[in-house]
């Protein structure tokens, strides 16, 4: 083990042990240190640190998040490792540590259900159960692909050794390419987590509006699972917006429809098709769901503008969840923050990229 010394922008000092070659973000988080991060996979740039002494290895020099590193001493902690002692400084302050604590685990990844040619459900079976919050994600590494990938759990129970995921195949993607090409077999994987602060607890005692684009629905499903188990909608009617391209690429409509019925319609689910309007036949098949045409952020805007009939504008102190591709999350944040003047502190989001 080597020792990594790190100070934050306020001059607070901390040290943590790391194995040679271990990702510094993961080593620090596993040691209980609150290192700033968002994606944990090299895209957001939030884990930037400056090397003051010693040397780090850049595990993915061309990571999209590395564009925030403007001088050679700057590096992304999630894409850096060391083979000897290193001293670093952060541009940000330490954050609260991971809650629940995170760790490295071994697991077996298997496909459980094909939902569409692009989307399947998978499970990772761990040796021991772990605790995580609804809305959290883990990092999965394996299949001989460089680097970990983040996936949000789709179910929630207080302790689980079988984690469920909804994974979308990226036609040009390294990990999902390998996974979907060989998804009949099980794969030994390394799992790191749980991570993520876009979480929900019914103890918060307030309604929520969740806006998901495509596989962004994954973490929302865990939030829904928890909310139904706690009868959350009885006191706090809530609303999920689910953006899809068209009915052909649609999935989970049966499950979402059942959730609306189970909540006695205190939960509303609006499915937004961006490419093709919903057919009368589909609307008739799912009378519990609302359907709309357009990008999901435009449908959310229209629902606010619709005033009392939509219920959105009258909802008292809702918490917002946004998840999906970065372009969809950014467009939705613009609607919520810039147009509707909703405080960013009321919005929790995960950009899937």
Residues in contact with ligand FAD by the rule CB under 6 A: 39, 41-43, 60, 137, 146-147, 149-152, 165-168, 170, 173-177, 196, 215, 218, 350, 352-353
* Positions 62 through 81 that interact with ligand FES (CB under 6 A): 65, 76, 78
Region of 45-53, 147-155, 255-263, 296-304 interacting with ligand FES (CB under 6 A): 45-53
Among 8, 22, 30, 45, binds ligand FES (CB under 6 A): 45
In the list ligand FES, ligand FAD, none, the entry touching 152 (Cβ below 5 to 8 angstroms by class) is ligand FAD
Under the criterion CB under 6 A, does residue 156 sit at the interface with ligand FES? no
Query: If binding means CB under 6 A, how many residues of this protein chain bind ligand FES?
Result: 13
CA distances, 256 to each of 128, 160, 208, 224, 267 (Å): 30, 23, 16, 9, 10
Shortest Cβ distance from residue 111 to ligand FAD (Å)?
13
In which element (H, E) is residue 93 found?
A: none
**DSSP-assigned letters across all residues of 7-64:** E-TT--EEEEEE-TT--HHHHHHHTT-----SSSSSSS-TTEEEEEES-EEES-TT-G
Under the criterion CB under 6 A, does residue 40 sit at the interface with ligand FES? yes
Question: If you ran DSSP here, which 8-state letter would residue 279 be given?
Answer: P
In the list ligand FAD, ligand FES, none, the entry touching 318 (Cβ below 5 to 8 angstroms by class) is none
**Dist CA 91 CA 88 (whole Å):** 10
The torsion angle over the Cα atoms of residues 196, 35, 23 and 168, rounded to 10 degrees, is 20
**Cβ atoms of residues 75 and 56 within 8 Å:** yes
Region of 38-46, 206-214, 255-263, 265-273 interacting with ligand FES (CB under 6 A): 38-46
Under the criterion CB under 6 A, does residue 148 sit at the interface with ligand FES? no
**Cβ atoms of residues 48 and 74 within 8 Å:** yes
- The alpha carbon dihedral of 268, 269, 274, 275 has a sign of negative
Region of 32-40, 116-124, 131-139, 338-346 interacting with ligand FES (CB under 6 A): 32-40
Among 27, 28, 29, 46, binds ligand FES (CB under 6 A): 46
**Dist CA 243 CA 241 (whole Å):** 7
Under the criterion CB under 6 A, does residue 193 sit at the interface with ligand FES? no
**Cβ atoms of residues 161 and 129 within 8 Å:** yes
Shortest Cβ distance from residue 51 to ligand FES (Å)?
15
Under the criterion CB under 6 A, does residue 43 sit at the interface with ligand FES? yes
**Dist CA 306 CA 108 (whole Å):** 47
**Cβ atoms of residues 99 and 15 within 8 Å:** no
Under the criterion CB under 6 A, does residue 238 sit at the interface with ligand FES? no
Residue nearer to ligand FES on the CB measure, 64 or 293: 64
In the list ligand FAD, ligand FES, none, the entry touching 278 (Cβ below 5 to 8 angstroms by class) is none
In the list ligand FAD, ligand FES, none, the entry touching 166 (Cβ below 5 to 8 angstroms by class) is ligand FAD
Under the criterion CB under 6 A, does residue 350 sit at the interface with ligand FES? no
Could you tell me how many residues make up the chain? 353
Among 8, 38, 118, 290, binds ligand FES (CB under 6 A): 38
**Dist CA 31 CA 99 (whole Å):** 12
Residues that bind ligand FES (CB under 6 A): 37-40, 42-47, 65, 76, 78
């Amino acid at each position: 083990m080597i020792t990594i010394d790190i100070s934050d922008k306020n001059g607070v000092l901390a040290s943590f042990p790391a194995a040679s070659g271990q990702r510094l973000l993961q080593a620090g988080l596993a040691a209980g240190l609150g290192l700033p991060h968002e994606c944990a996979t090299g895209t957001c740039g939030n884990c930037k640190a400056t090397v003051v002494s010693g040397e780090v290895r850049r595990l993915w020099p061309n990571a999209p998040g590395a564009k925030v590193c403007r001088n050679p001493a700057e590096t992304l902690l999630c894409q850096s490792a060391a083979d000897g002692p290193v001293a670093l400084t952060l541009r940000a302050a330490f954050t609260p540590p991971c809650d629940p604590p995170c760790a490295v685990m071994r697991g077996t990844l298997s496909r459980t259900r094909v939902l569409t040619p692009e989307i399947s459900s998978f499970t990772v079976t761990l040796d021991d159960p772990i605790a995580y919050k609804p809305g959290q994600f883990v990092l999965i590494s394996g299949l001989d692909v460089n680097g970990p990938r983040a996936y949000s759990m789709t179910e929630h129970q207080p302790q689980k050794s079988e984690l469920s995921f909804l994974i979308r195949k990226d036609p040009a993607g390294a990990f999902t390419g390998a996974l979907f090409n060989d998804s009949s077999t099980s794969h030994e994987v390394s799992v790191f987590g749980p991570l993520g602060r876009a979480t929900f607890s019914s103890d918060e005692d307030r309604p929520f509006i969740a806006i998901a684009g495509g596989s962004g629905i994954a973490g929302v499903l865990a939030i829904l699972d928890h909310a139904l188990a706690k009868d959350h909608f009885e006191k706090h009617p809530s609303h999920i917006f689910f953006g899809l391209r068209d009915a052909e690429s649609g999935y989970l409509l049966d499950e979402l429809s059942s959730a609306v019925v189970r909540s006695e319609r205190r939960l509303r689910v609006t499915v937004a098709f961006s490419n093709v309007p919903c057919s009368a036949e589909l609307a008739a098949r799912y009378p519990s769901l609302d359907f709309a045409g357009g990008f999901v952020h435009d449908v959310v805007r229209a629902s606010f503008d619709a005033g009392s009939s939509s219920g959105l504008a009258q909802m008292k102190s809702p918490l917002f969840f946004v998840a999906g591709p970065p372009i969809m999350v950014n467009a939705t944040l613009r609607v919520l923050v810039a147009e509707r003047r909703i405080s960013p502190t009321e919005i929790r989001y995960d950009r899937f990229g």
